[in-house]
Amino acid sequence: MFKKSVAVVTGASRGIGRALALELADRGNLTIINYNESVEKAESVKREIVASGGEAVLFQCDVSRYEDCEYFIKEIVRDYGRLDILVNNAGITRDYLIMQMKEEDFDQVLAVNLKGTFNTISFAARQMMKQRKGRIVNMASVVGIHGNGGQSSYSASKAGVIGLTKSVAKELAPRGITVNAVAPGFIETEMTGVLTEEVQKNVEKKIPLGMFGRPEDVAAAVGFLTSDVAGYITGQVLCVDGGMAM
């Protein structure tokens, strides 16, 4: 069996996922950088990790596809004989008011954000149960707790991620596996980069700490939840949101 812990991060080619991959590699894990389309960005994350003395591997997989996730997770287990950490970070938005929301947009958001989380857990949990050890962290959002006008599909997917997290946490706890969610507020990435300056200013007014967070703020929380010292924490939703959800 491979000596280092093995950590899978979905959607690790950019934004929060990139910061998660750097954090987990920095903590000594062999880090599997999953991406869907952004191969060059994923390669650059790998280069960054290797340049700072870490180990990383790229793996293309569309997490919304069940069979592809089966192949993805089984290949990792076949190559390294273990899977210690799974972070379900891949996510998309298709934001429209409910009257303009097309069925395919709603379905696609649910398919990546919620079903994608189910897909990888389905196969990762099997290996972690055999090991009697594992850490799963799912990326939710504060809008999955409070809702947000114009984001019904996204909020529904993230509320679903929270329900999935708590249920799976109960199922896997007897095997020593922890399952938690992290709920970011507004974080500076390409996802929020599409907001106009005016919208960004209005959002900032609603954040008690008065500013957007950085991907590294989320990575620090995930680093903690996946570490050995967090072994007694499961089924929780940790908000990293500058106080928005208070």
Among positions 30, 76, 85, 139, the unique one binding ligand NAP when judged by CB under 6 A? 139
What residues have CB less than 8 Å from 20, skipping those under 6 apart? Answer: 9, 12, 87, 89, 215, 218, 219, 222
Kindly state whether residue 104 participates in binding ligand NAP, applying the rule CB under 6 A: no
Q: How far is the CB of 37 from ligand NAP (least distance, A)?
A: 4
| CA atoms within 13 A of residue 52's CA, in its CB half-sphere | 16
Kindly state whether residue 160 participates in binding ligand NAP, applying the rule CB under 6 A: no
In terms of phi and psi (left: phi > 0; alpha: psi -120 to 50; beta: otherwise), the region of 242 is left
Distance between CA 165 and CA 192 in Å, rounded? 24
Among positions 7, 14, 155, 244, the unique one binding ligand NAP when judged by CB under 6 A? 14
Kindly state whether residue 240 participates in binding ligand NAP, applying the rule CB under 6 A: no
Which burial class, exposed, middle or buried, applies to 73 when counting CB atoms under 10 A from its CB (0-12, 13-18, 19+)? Answer: buried
Among positions 21, 86, 112, 124, the unique one binding ligand NAP when judged by CB under 6 A? 112
Kindly state whether residue 203 participates in binding ligand NAP, applying the rule CB under 6 A: no
Q: How far is the CB of 122 from ligand NAP (least distance, A)?
A: 15
Chain positions 31 to 50 lying near ligand NAP, rule: CB under 6 A, are 34-38
Cα angle: 148, vertex 152, 156; to 5 degrees: 100
CA 174 to chain centre: 23
Kindly state whether residue 89 participates in binding ligand NAP, applying the rule CB under 6 A: yes
Kindly state whether residue 120 participates in binding ligand NAP, applying the rule CB under 6 A: no
Examine the residue annotation and report whether 96 is marked as an active-site residue of this protein: no
Report the residue number, 132 or 146, with the smaller CB distance to ligand NAP.
Answer: 146
